[in-house]
Structure 1
Amino acid sequence: MSVADAFDAVAGSYDEGRRRLVPCFDAFYGTAVEVAAPPLRAALAAGRTPEVLDLGAGTGLLSLLLAAAVPGVRLTLVDAAAAMLAVGAERLRARGVPHRTVLADLADPLPAGRYDAVVSALAVHHLDDAGKRTLYRRAADALVPGGVFVNAEQVAGPTPELDRRYDDVWTARIIELGATADEIAAARERMRHDRPATVADQCGWLTDAGLVDVDCFFKEWRFAVFGGHRP
């Protein structure tokens, strides 16, 4: 089963467990929005419609949060899972948010255009390291000057021992939050597709891609938010 097939199979129920499976949900997504928002507000102040590209957008969770925080944005959602993308599009339509959807893999060329923010949440870790580095270069090139790239991501521990600790902590936390055995098993089945990398490596790849002010803005065990700006 491909990554897209695995997520299409749970499109209708995917968001129900987000707050259980991402124990730091509010801080994690809230930080991503906070980092992405300033260039979007600057575009509005300059009389432009802020353009946002959401990579691996899934059900549109991050896009919806951005649209709520910065009314007036226009969103482009990219995902290889058609059913997930359909859920996101319907939610944006219901809220009257201007958007387009693009059915594509993260390894495919990015949709044409220049963007004030390129964002992603819990998607890039499905690429191998070479794929991540290539995507980061393409994302940096797609930004307007001063635009921001933000990745809210599941990351690897810097050592095998820490990586095991990340998993132990995650498992204990989600059980505390009420995740069922079936829910955990389904999550672990999807995680078979994961190829996470460390925060340090990925921040280095963003710098190599030409971004500046690269930093990790939030981290709680395996969940991290990092990014940078195009000069």
Structure 2
Amino acid sequence: MSVTAAFDAVAGSYDQARRRLVPRFDDFYGTAVEVAAVPLRAALAAGRTPEVLDLGAGTGLLSLLLTAALPGVRVTLLDGAPRMLAVAADALAARGVPHRTVVADLADPLPADRYDAVVSALAVHHLDDDGKRALYRRAAEALRPGGVFVNAEQVAGPTPALDRRYDEVWVAQATGLGSDDAELAAARERMRHDRPAPVDAQCRWLAEAGLVDVDCFFKAWRFAVFGGTRPPT
């Protein structure tokens, strides 16, 4: 089963498991929202509608959190799984959030627009390392000057031993939050498509893509939030 088919198959129930499978859910997503918020608040203060591109948006969870924190933002959601995007569109429409959806793969060209923030959550790790580097370059080019890219991501440990430890901790934490064997097995099946990379390498790739003030803003074992800013002109 392809990665797109794997996620389309669970489109209706995907978000129900997030708080169990993503330990420290609020810190993880909340950090991503706060990093993205700086240029969005600036656009609102200037009387302009902030534009956000959500890469691998899935059911729109990150966009929903972002637009709840910052009403007035317009979002473009890009994903290769149309059923996931349909769930996202319904949820955003119910909240009156202006949006559009784009069915595309993360390896495809991005929409030919400029954004105040390009965001992603738990999606880029499906690309190999060359694909990540290429996407980071395209994301940097899609930003307005002063715009931010933020990736809330599942990452690899910097050594094989630490990567195994990350997995052990994740299982223990998810189980403690209520995940059962069936849910963990389903997550493992989707994770067969994963190609995570360490945080330090990905931050280096963001800097190579031309972003500045690159940093890891949150990290708890395999879950990290990192990003950078397109230099103002």
Letter aligned with residue 208 of structure 1: E
How does 1:203-218 map onto structure 2 within 5 Å?
A: 203-218=203-218
Whole-angstrom CA distance in 1 between matches of 2:73 and 2:94: 15
What is the SS of the residue equivalent to 2:152?
strand
1:47 is displaced (CA, Å) by 1.2
Instruction: Give the drift of 1:141.
Output: 0.3
Gaps of 5+ in 2: none
Please name the residue that 1:63 is paired with: 63
Paired residue for 1:133? Answer: 133
The Cα shift of 1:74 comes to 0.4
Give the alignment of 1:144-163 within 5 angstroms: 144-163=144-163
For residues 38-90 of structure 1, what are the alpha-carbon distances to aligned partners after superposition, in whole Å with 9 as ceiling and x for unaligned? 10010011111000000000000000011011110000000000100000000
In 1: Cα distance, 2:147 partner to 2:105 partner:
23
- Distance in 2, matches of 1:93 and 1:111, equals 21
- In the alignment, structure 1 residue 99 sits paired with structure 2 residue 99: yes
TM-score by length of 1: 1.00
Please tell me the residue identity of whatever aligns with 2:96: G
Q: Which residue of 2 is the match for residue 33 of structure 1? A: 33
Q: Aligned-residue CA RMSD in angstroms?
A: 0.4
Deviations 1:139-180 (A, max 9, x none): 000000000000000000000000000000000111111101
Question: In structure 2, what is the equivalent of residue 13 of structure 1?
Answer: 13
TM-score by length of 2: 0.99
The number of residues matched between the two structures is 231
Partner of 2:122: 122
How much identity, in percent, do the aligned residues show?
A: 81
Q: Match of 2:85, as an amino acid?
A: L
C-alpha displacement of 1:24: 1.2
> C-alpha separation between the residues in 1 aligned to 2:171 and 2:161?
16
Residues in 2 aligned to 1:95 and 1:29: alpha-carbon distance in whole angstroms: 19
Q: Which amino acid aligns with 1:2?
A: S
Q: SS of the counterpart of 1:200?
A: helix
Alpha-carbon distance in 2 for matches of 1:46, 1:105:
33
